[in-house]
Homo-oligomer: A and B are copies of this chain.
Amino acid sequence: MSTSAAAPDQPPFPVRFGILGCATIARKVSRAMLLAPGAAVAAVASRSEDKARLFAADNGLPAAGLRLHGSYEALLDDPDVDAVYVPLPTSLHVRWATAAAARGKHVLLEKPTALCAADLDAILAACDAAGVQFMDSTMWMHHPRTAKMREVVDDKDAIGDIKVINSMFSFRANEDFLQNDIRVKPDLDALGVLGDVGWYCIRAILWAVDYELPKTVISLRDPVKNRSGVLIACGATLYWADGKTATFNCSFLANLTMDITLVGTNGTLHVTDFAIPYEEKSAEFSVASKSNFAELHIGWDPLPSKHVVTTDLPQEVLMVQEFSRLVQNIRDAGGKPEGKWPAITRKTQVVLDAVKASIDKGSEPVEVAN
């Protein structure tokens, strides 16, 4: 590797990303790499060099020093790539994420990370063996609003013990999407809506309970599937041993909606744009704490409060920045991979597996594996 560690008084040498595949989502993440301190786009791979060139041009990637590869294999052979971002269809994740890790590349992997927890475990094992950082590309985890909400949720006085969580993520896909998008194709993204926006709902619920796994999940009845059997709309209720419950709905057939509602003994949190805030630089949530009925039950006292969190850098930039910081710590300072991120990914995938199993069993209860 031609990496040279930065001198103490110089900014660290940027993490050189290779983009493995030119999916639509890669446009957003390549922009984030251009904007993120500590990151640079070093290479783009597609199934042809022309496609990679087109992607680079369309997304304003500086030509100087940028390598365009006509195959994923070629990018993985590129010695001047520290980390790969993998936005390939889910069915290709095991193959390419493990291959990347085996070449010593750190792995930023699009969600859903795998078709099942066993596949994810193969990826995580490869990263572990290679000593590379793994992170899934769940951007909202990195928004400062999420950190602020974490503080509130962790404040036992403000929220107390969580009792009920609801999460919803839907968008109204057009006919072209429903016919042709990767996310409705059984050979590419067999998890359909559950793997796509359902991933966010499950992550949101796990985030809310600080990643305590539920004991049992039961899918909602009558999930909607397309002709190929791929899930288009579904949901589930999750049950914890202490009586907490969470319900989520995800759909390609309903208007864009992104809710987390969390009700604890002492307080309630509402956010209605959790995964992608309405606007890039400012995001809100509201908290009602120790709410009482006003005298005669003609109002509330106190009223809920609105929290506004601003950010100069969009959440996907903050994600790339955080991933790059972890990679630099390993590459330049002999640090170890941060285990928090793969652990969160795995829990999300394990719950997703249980929901899928419950759907496949006609909404029978399924115990969550550990």
Contacts and interface: CB of A to CB of B under 8 A. Distances in A.
A226 interface: no
B255 A289 contact: yes
Contacts of A314: 298
A272 interface: yes
A235 to B, nearest CB: 7
Nearest to A243: B222
A140 to B, nearest CB: 12
A328 interface: no
A36 to B, nearest CB: 14
Contact of A245 (B172, B220, B293, B298): B220
A243 B257 contact: no
B256 A278 contact: no
A325 interface: no
A304 interface: yes
Nearest to A289: B255
B245 A224 contact: no
B265 A278 contact: no
B254 A164 contact: yes
A89 interface: no
B164 A256 contact: no
Interface string A52-90: 000000000000000000000000000000000000000
A166 B255 contact: no
A221 B239 CA distance: 8
Interface string A223-245: 01000000001010101000101
Contacts of A299: 276-280
A265 B291 contact: no
A264 interface: yes
Contacts of A224: 243
A103 interface: no
B251 A163 contact: yes
Contacts of A218: 221
A195 interface: no
